[in-house]
Amino acid sequence: MSTQLLNDRDIEFLLYEFLDTERLLSRPRYEDHSREIFDASLRTAKTVAEKYFANHYEKGDQQEPTLVNGQVEMIPETKAAWQEFTKAGFLAAHQDYDEGGMQMPEVLVRVIMAYINAANIGTAAYPFISIGVTNLLRAFGSEQQKSLYLPLIMDGRANGTMALTEPGQGSALGDITTLAEPHADGNYRLFGQKMFISCADHNIADNVIHMVLAKIKDAPVGVKGISLFIVPKFLINDDGRPGARNDVVVAGLNHKMGYRNATNTALNFGEEDGAVGYLVGEAHKGLGYMFQMMNEARIGVALGAAAIAYQGYNCSLEYARQRPQGRLPSCRDPASAQILLIEHADVRRLLLAQKAYSEGALAMCLYASAVFEDQNTAPEEADRERARLLLDLIIPVVKSWPSKYGCVSNDMAIQILGGSGYIREYPVEQMYRDQRLNPIHEGVEAIHGIDLLGRKVSMKDQAGFNIFVEEVTKDLAHATKAGLTDNLVAGLKIALDTLCLTTDALLEQVKADTDKGLANATMYLDMFGRIVAAWIWLKQARLAETRISAGNCGDQDVAFYQGKLQAARYYIEWELPAVQQLAALLDSGNRVTFDMKDDWF
C-alpha cells in the first residue's frame, strides 16, 4: 500500500473547486449540512479505510476465502472491516434521515467509497454491493420487504448480493434459465444455477440476502420475462432473526486473479425443494428494476478502477522519489552519484500518464456523481431532466474509460518499479491483478460500445448527445476566457468537432446495416472516452490557471495547480490526438475485423 490512500489535496480540489459541492447546501435536502460536516465524514471514512481495510489488503490476497463444509471462511479482518463500515453508518450515508441515513450528497458518498476502495478493493465489495441491494429494495420492495430486510443489512447483520449471471449466458441476460415456480404459500421456489456471484457467502455476518433474477414458469422469452426475487440464505423469522436454512448453496468458489478477498461463487438454487423466493415488485419487470440501478453500479465499478489506479500511482511515485538509479544520458562520469528514478524523463512520463489516468478517472466518476445528484435534487425539473439525459449518455464512458486506462495505469506503476514491481513483495502487482476485473464486470467493454453507439447517442433525437456537446462547448469558451493556452482549447475543440462528424457518419452506417454499423463500436467508445477525459482535464486546467493567475496562492498550491495543468497538457497533447486516427477508421466504416472469417484464423 501507498502511504497515502488518495491525495487529500486533490479530494479537496475535486469536491470544493472542481464540483463546487458547497452549492448543494442551498438545496432543501442538504440545508442541515455544512462543509465541516462533509469533511468530518471524510475524516471518518479515511480512518476506517486506513485502520480496517488497508490493514489486510495483501493478506486478503494471499489467504483468499476457502470453502469448508459448504461454508465460506475468510480472514477475520474482513468481518471487522464490514462492522466498522456499517457502524460508521456508511451503508446508508446517502439515505434520508427518516430512513436512518445521513442524507449525504451522492458525491460525498462516492468519495467515502473511494477511500475504502483505495484501501482494499476486495473487501470493499461487501459494502459496495450491499449498498446497491438496499437501493434496489428501497426503490422497488414492498413495505413489508423493506421493513424486514433493510434493517438487517443496514445494521450489518446481513449483506446483499446481486445474482444475475448464469453459467451458460454471460452478458446476455435474456437467456437466463433460473426458474421460479409459484408456490401455494404465495411465494416462489427457485431452481437453477448462478455464476460469478460476489460476496455470496462469508463469515462476516449471519445472513446473506440474494437479489436474484429468474423467470417465472411460462414467462415471455428473453429480457421481458425476467423477474426479481429476494432469496435469503436463512429465511427470516418474524422477529427479524435468521430462521430455517433456505435451499440455496455455494456449489463452488471461483479463484480470481485479483479482488481475491471478495468471495466469488457458483450458487445452486433448489437442489432440494426449491429456494424460497419473494417476488420484488411486479412479475417480468425484474430487469427494468435492475437497469434503474445500473448507472449507480457502473459509476461504482469505475470508482473502484480509479481508486486502484490512484494507489498504483501513489506507490510508484513514492518509489521513484526514493530509489537511486543510474544517471542522465548526458552524464559521462561513472563516479558521479546515482540520480533518483524520478529524474529520468521516461519515469516522469510514466508518472504523468498515471496522474492523468488516475486523477482523471476519479474526477470523471465524481463529475458523473454530481450529475446523478442533479438528476435527483436540482431545483428545476428542466435541470433534472438535462442531468438525466447527460448521465445516460456518458455512463458507458464513465464505466469504461477508468476501467480500461486503470489497467494501463497500473501497468505503468509496475514498469517504474521494474523487477521489484513484478514481485509480490511490493503491492503494485496485486493492484495490476485487481484492476483487470474492471473491464469485465458490470458489462464488458464491447457491451458498452454497443450501448453507447446503438442506443445512447441516438436516444430521444440525440438529446443527451446534444447536451454533451453544449456542455463541452461552454467549457471551451470558459477556458479561453480564463487564458488557457490555445493548444489545449483547440485540441479539444477539434476533437469534439471530429466526434460530431463521426457520430453522424456512424449513425448513418447503423441505419444502413445494424451489425456492420455497430461492428467498430468499441473503437467509438474509446474515441468518446478520450474526449470526455480531455474535457474533464480541461475543466480542471481552467480552474488551475485561474487560481495561479489570481496570484494569491501559496507555493504548495501553485505546485498542485501546475501539476493539474501539466496533466491536462499531457492528456490533450499526447492521448487525445488518437481521436483522429480512430475517426478515420470509423468514418470509412473499416471492414477488416468485421470481414474476418472463422476459418481464416
Q: How far is the CB of 264 from a copy of itself (least distance, A)?
A: 7
Among 139, 328, 459, 490, interactor with a copy of itself by CB under 8 A: 328
Distance CA 347, CA 323 (A): 12
Extract the C-alpha cell encoding 249. 448453496
Among 139, 237, 497, 574, interactor with a copy of itself by CB under 8 A: 574
Among 83, 103, 145, 169, interactor with a copy of itself by CB under 8 A: 169
| Closer CB to a copy of itself, 167 or 379, in the complex | 167
Among 33, 194, 399, 436, interactor with a copy of itself by CB under 8 A: 436
Among 156, 163, 560, 586, interactor with a copy of itself by CB under 8 A: 560
Is residue 174 within the footprint of a copy of itself (CB under 8 A)? yes
Is residue 193 within the footprint of a copy of itself (CB under 8 A)? no
Is residue 454 within the footprint of a copy of itself (CB under 8 A)? yes
Q: How far is the CB of 559 from a copy of itself (least distance, A)?
A: 5
Instruction: Give whole-number Cα distances, 64 to 52, 55, 59, 162, 429, in Å.
Output: 17, 15, 8, 21, 16
Q: How far is the CB of 121 from a copy of itself (least distance, A)?
A: 14
Is residue 34 within the footprint of a copy of itself (CB under 8 A)? no
Dihedral class, residue 200 (left if φ above 0, else alpha if ψ from -120 to 50, else beta): alpha
| Closer CB to a copy of itself, 41 or 198, in the complex | 198
Give the binding range for a copy of itself (CB under 8 A) out of 11-19, 65-73, 530-538, 557-565: 557-565
Is residue 142 within the footprint of a copy of itself (CB under 8 A)? no
| Closer CB to a copy of itself, 92 or 519, in the complex | 519
Extract the C-alpha cell encoding 449. 460500445
180, 214 in Cβ contact below 8 A? yes
Among 255, 381, 550, 552, interactor with a copy of itself by CB under 8 A: 255
Q: How far is the CB of 374 from a copy of itself (least distance, A)?
A: 32
DSSP 546-592: HHHHHT---HHHHHHHHHHHHHHHHIIIIITTHHHHHHHHHHTT--H
| Closer CB to a copy of itself, 26 or 330, in the complex | 330
Which residues share a beta bridge with 190? 180, 275
Is residue 543 within the footprint of a copy of itself (CB under 8 A)? no
Place of cell 495483501: 58
Binding positions for a copy of itself, 478-537, rule CB under 8 A: 513-515, 518-522
Binding positions for a copy of itself, 35-94, rule CB under 8 A: none
Backbone phi and psi for residue 176, each to the nearest 5 degrees, phi listed first: -65, 150
Dihedral class, residue 277 (left if φ above 0, else alpha if ψ from -120 to 50, else beta): beta
| Closer CB to a copy of itself, 423 or 477, in the complex | 423
Among 42, 200, 275, 437, interactor with a copy of itself by CB under 8 A: 437
Give the binding range for a copy of itself (CB under 8 A) out of 36-44, 210-218, 317-325, 368-376: 317-325
Q: How far is the CB of 344 from a copy of itself (least distance, A)?
A: 7
Exposure string for 269-290, b = 16+ CB within 10 A, e = fewer: bbeeebbbbbbbbebbbbbebb
190, 230 in Cβ contact below 8 A? no
Backbone phi and psi for residue 220, each to the nearest 5 degrees, phi listed first: -55, 150
Among 21, 120, 130, 264, interactor with a copy of itself by CB under 8 A: 264
Cα dihedral sign, 291-297-301-303: positive
Is residue 321 within the footprint of a copy of itself (CB under 8 A)? yes
Q: How far is the CB of 243 from a copy of itself (least distance, A)?
A: 33
Which residues share a beta bridge with 279? 229
Which residues share a beta bridge with 207? 158
CA 286 to chain centre: 22
Extract the C-alpha cell encoding 550. 489570481
Q: How far is the CB of 199 from a copy of itself (least distance, A)?
A: 15
By CB under 8 A, how many residues form the interface with a copy of itself? 102
Amino acid code (one letter) for 95: Q
Is residue 401 within the footprint of a copy of itself (CB under 8 A)? no
Q: How many CA atoms lie within 13 A of 36 on its CB side?
A: 1
Is residue 291 within the footprint of a copy of itself (CB under 8 A)? no
Is residue 569 within the footprint of a copy of itself (CB under 8 A)? yes
Q: How far is the CB of 12 from a copy of itself (least distance, A)?
A: 17
Extract the C-alpha cell encoding 37. 460536516
Instruction: Give whole-number Cα distances, 31 to 66, 107, 379, 533, in Å.
Output: 47, 16, 13, 32
Q: How far is the CB of 256 from a copy of itself (least distance, A)?
A: 5
Is residue 577 within the footprint of a copy of itself (CB under 8 A)? yes
Q: How far is the CB of 385 from a copy of itself (least distance, A)?
A: 28
Say if strands 188-198 and 207-216 run parallel, antiparallel, or are unpaired.
unpaired
Amino acid code (one letter) for 305: A
What mask of x and - would describe binding to a copy of itself in positions 235 to 254, judged by CB under 8 A? -------------------x
Binding positions for a copy of itself, 338-367, rule CB under 8 A: 338, 342, 344-349, 351-352, 355
Among 77, 106, 411, 526, interactor with a copy of itself by CB under 8 A: 411
Which segments of 62-205 are extended strands (E)? 66-68, 71-73, 158-163, 179-182, 188-198
DSSP 45-76: HHHHIIIIIGGGHHHHHHS--EEETTEEE--T
Binding positions for a copy of itself, 197-226, rule CB under 8 A: 221-224
| Closer CB to a copy of itself, 86 or 165, in the complex | 165
| Closer CB to a copy of itself, 432 or 468, in the complex | 432
